[in-house]
Amino acid sequence: MNVYLPIEVKVRELEGKALLALVAAERGHTVILGEKKDTLSLAQTSHLPPGIVHDKSLTPGEYKIKSYTNLKKQGHLITGQDEESGLLDESFDSFAKRRFSEETVSMVDKIFAWGGHDQSSLQKIYPNYADKIVATGSPRVDFWRTEFDDYYKEAASGLEAYIFVASNFGYPIDENLFWDKIARLRQAGYFDRDPGMEKFMYENSAYQYRLLHEFIVMIRQLSDTFPDRKIVVRPHPVESIDAWHKLLGEFQNVIIKREDTISGWIRHASVLIHNGCTSALEAAVSGLPSIAYRPIPDEIEREIPNRTSLHAFSLEEVEKMISDILENGDTEGLDKAEELSNEVIDERISSVSGKLAAEKIVDEWINIAEKANLKTSSADELLAKKPSDTVSLRRKLKRQAVEIRNSLMGISQVKKNQKLLKSDHKFPSLSDEEMQGMIKKLQTTLNRFEKVKAVRFGEKSFIFFTDH
């Protein structure tokens, strides 16, 4: 079979999708991984032979339905796993209604759930398609497991034992303006599928502004309290790094970084500080102590990730907890937090042990590919479909022309922001050195994939195949 793996947000998706590509290629299949223009866009035309297109979400909308219709016309199978996960709220039902629909679920061949929690909700809401929904776990979670520790043995930016602050303030400092997000979600039908969502966005935005200020004050205080300890602030993928620098100010021992995936940063930290962030679930699996900083307790907070952590309600409490962890490697309440963490992980995340999620997904791909009699193209056959330098140049010139036209015509900021997020912000680049280095680390860490090769396909895409 051929597999096409589109990537939207590089720092979030690349490692997990690369692992999927390696597992599939090791088993004799050919995979194209990369930016959507070289995967999803090409697959919608007759440019690429029939295969499996693995989508990052099944969010309904005119473009999505048109895309799936075109993929089906070209003979492709479609699978999906929502990269947003939806695991941070007590119930998955609202997420299942916002990010899925009867129409999109009916069009795909398999949906891969992160665990039993989202699987059961999806099966309840879309009972006619319950057999399509499989709890495989996520390849992103595979990297949380202890057998991947050696993959991250080289510390990010050469730093070790830092205080790690994971930011999750999408509303106040998102690269997209708040009103543009409201307009986009309204146009995409989110508010029709979840009538309470629009009001919640306003309430959450107001709360996040207040909480962001408390985090700014906390980081400044921690910089003074622990002058010999580095403090790493990692903005969420949608957040503006420039905003963090301007809001926080310059402190000698505070570093604002988003390079590399969050897993590498978690592996070399001494403690994680967050509020309602997925990083707390990863820290729980990876064995890193975490603190949910809750200076403004509110029902709007996401209880699930906070439940896996110690709770600090003041600067004094968070400083004491950090001191205890740094000095003693322990603090009162860690055992209880670990117990609650295990309950959350067991319910919501499959494949933290045993068979890798990537293996389970490839198993499902092989089953549906065999039933559909999908063929496997050689790497040479797919490389013959590689976008030419002329096509790449034409794309680049077209983008530049649109930008110039928009500037001259005074096109609204929303289009500029959307273009930023769709290109350089979400997927800035993908060099040969970066991809080959990732493959080499996975080969060494897992002691496998020795015969798998990856060669460049497009500006931000590669073909994976077995070198016989």
Where a domain ends, among 298, 322, 348? 348
- Going by C-beta distance under 8 Å and a sequence separation of 6 or more, which residues neighbour residue 87? 114, 115, 117, 118, 278, 281, 304, 348, 349
In the chain, the N- to C-terminal Cα span, in Å, equals: 17
Domain-located, residue 60:
yes
Beta bridge partners of 452: 466
Are residues 208 and 127 both part of a single domain? no
What is the tens place of the pLDDT at every residue in 5-42? 999 989 889 999 999 999 999 999 999 999 998 999 99
- Cα four-point dihedral sign 239, 306, 113, 151: positive
Same domain, 162 and 259: yes
Q: Which pLDDT band, with edges at 50, 70 and 90, does 410 fall under? A: low
Which of 290, 322, 348 terminates a domain? The answer is: 348
Q: Are residues 377 and 293 in the same domain?
A: no
Contact, 90 vs 304, CB < 8 A? yes
- Asked whether residue 331 falls in the same domain as residue 184, the answer is yes
Structure tokens at 404: 């110039």
Closest CA to 82 of 52, 51, 102, 105: 105
Same domain, 202 and 319: yes
Burial label for 349, CB within 10 Å (0-12, 13-18, 19+), is buried
Q: Tell me the pLDDT tens digit for each residue of 136-183.
A: 999 999 999 999 999 999 877 788 999 999 999 988 998 888 999 999
Classify 456 as helix, strand or coil: strand
Q: What is the pLDDT of residue 328?
A: 79
Which CATH number belongs to the domain containing residue 160 in this structure? 3.40.50.2000
357 and 326, same structural domain?
A: no
Between 418 and 461, residue with greater pLDDT: 461
Please check whether residues 209 and 325 belong to one and the same domain. yes
Q: How confident is the model at residue 64 (pLDDT cuts 50, 70, 90)?
A: very high
Query: Are 79 and 187 members of one domain?
Result: no
The pLDDT confidence band at residue 413, using thresholds 50, 70 and 90, is: very low
Residue 349 near residue 278 (C-beta atoms within 8 A):
no
pLDDT in tens, 121-145: 999 999 999 999 999 999 999 999 9
Q: Tens digits of per-residue pLDDT, 234-250?
A: 998 889 999 999 999 99
Same domain, 193 and 70: no
For residue 452, what are the domain limits?
2-144+353-388+428-466
DSSP H helical ranges for 226-333: 241-248, 262-267, 279-286, 303-307, 315-328
Q: How many domains does the chain divide into?
A: 2
Output the average pLDDT for the chain.
89
Specify whether the CB–CB gap between 38 and 8 falls below 8 A.
no
pLDDT tens string 220-278: 999 999 999 999 999 988 899 999 999 999 999 999 998 878 999 999 999 999 999 99
In a domain, 401, yes or no: no
Q: Which of 67-81, 299-313, 391-405 comes out lowest in average pLDDT?
A: 391-405
**Which CATH number is 51's domain given?**
3.40.50
Does a structural domain hold residue 417?
no
> Are 340 and 454 found together in one domain?
no
